[in-house]
Structure 1
Amino acid sequence: MAEYRDRFVQVLHYIEENLNSELDIDKLCQYTNLSKYHFHRQCSAFFGMPVIALIRRLRLKRAAYQLTYRDKKVVDIALESGYDSHEAFARAFKKLFGKSPSEFRRAPDWEVWHKHYEPVTALRSHFMRNTAKYEVTIIEFPKTQLAAMEHRGPAHHLGATIKQFIQWRKAQGLSPRNSRTFNLVYDDPVTTPPDQYRFDVCCTVQYPIDASERNIVNKVIPAGKCAVIRHLGSDDTIGAAVQHLYFHWLDHSTFAVRDFPIFFERINFFPEVPESKIITDIFLPIEENI
């Protein structure tokens, strides 16, 4: 059964990596060693939707990210998403998200998306719990100056904070090419009451930012030892890697946690790369357990 399940994870990765292409159903069938008839039925069972609906939703998720976080024209996003016209794209987008592309760009609503995307999230999480093999390394992390925007409130509202931070960052000329991207992760969204959830969106700066900058605060990652996992794939599965550090690796190590939250460094970004190719370094601040 595990091998059978893994084939459908490969199907998901293949789809994500070829969203700009006419997807070949015959090749997807090869991953599962099923005829087209059985492939469609089994896809519906594994993903909770027909494979064509899955492809459409993955394309529209990427489109939603492009609308929210990038400056691409709606018509260009429509064509990349496999639609022949702006109108056809707008109809499909509104049917799924309840908003037109332009309305979503002005006021993104990720809560609706998460509801539709839940079958894929569940599959990824189940796969990671049963198959993930994490390599943990110990490093000396240097003191690092950050400009941070603090998100306080429900995790599904985080997208609005990220959008605002990207706009500020662009205005400052702090591109990810010349300024590293970090998140300070104070809470687990699964166990934290929504109104108490805390998460900082940050980038590196050479000097502290003027305190008058709107909604931006200066923070520092202190120098010290960190346990590091390089996570490859969607944020849907990043929680499993965090849990491994806290509840498996730490318990079998000679270290204790330092008084600083776990933090992520974003090495690359969706939608520029497929979700299966996202690279995130996860840092757990540690010290010798005396």
Structure 2
Amino acid sequence: MANSLIEAKNLKQYFNTPRGKLHAVDDVSFSIEKGTTMGIVGESGCGKSTLGRTMIHLLESTGGQIMFKGEDITKVNNKQLIKLREDMQIIFQDPFSSLNPRMTTMEIVTEPLLLSKRFSKKEAEERANEIMNTVGLSPRLWNAYPHELDGGRRQRIGVARAIALNPSFVVCDEPVSALDVSIQAQILNLMQDLQEKNELTYMFITHDMSVVRHISQNICVMYLGQLVECSPSKELFQQPLHPYTKALLSAVPSTDIQHKKERILLKGELVSPVNPKPGCRFAARCNYACDRCHEPQKLEEISPGHFVSCCRVNEIN
């Protein structure tokens, strides 16, 4: 796409297991426009985090293509990867285990600046001071160690480290799921302010539909390694089309006591992601499953920008 910063084309990530190949990410395609946020949602184990890590080469893909700023970065050498690291960053889910316990706040934020070899030690410290002020870390905390800080402050360090080199693209791997609700709001607002200021592009991975609705312009719903629905955020919440998306949204708490939602309870067992059979992987838990669901499914555009992978989508909506 013309305005896309990063794009995945038929991306695959398989892992070898004693029982066969585990299809963690299977034939996934999407693009993210510059300066926007793409939400990736789904239940635990669906491959969200693996997809994010594959996009930025923390894991090397099994197949498919990754396009970044119009260039194919699917296979890169060490020299190219070092350069990419400056432009593609990640905010990890756990703000404690992702930080070096032997380094102070200042040292953690300064480290990527020094590794880039673009800054002297003095320049790196000045840049780190500026970044930490931006993310709301008080000067009295600059010499503190991670174990001396609460979860919100630790995650601010993670955000500061991720934006230190002015990246274009940031994978946010459930960055607020380990935080209290009030702290979640602070971190989300901080991330949106930084996005507006620096024109950042986010891939926001979460299982929390309320959070993804707040921060994302577009959303992809993932199930057992595959995308089942992709849509603008507002449209997805107003008119979900895939049975799995409907079930996810039915579980979102609502404050509207006048119009109670009917909870969709999923029955049946999860299909194994190891050597999966062709066809819809949700079929075993779907109330609308038929013989055609056992045939290979693909994302089809139902309305402008709204893609669904379901052979019965027009019948059940």
User: TM-score normalised to the size of structure 2?
Assistant: 0.28
More helix by proportion, 1 or 2?
1
**Higher relative contact order (Cα pairs below 8 Å, separated by 6+ residues):** 2
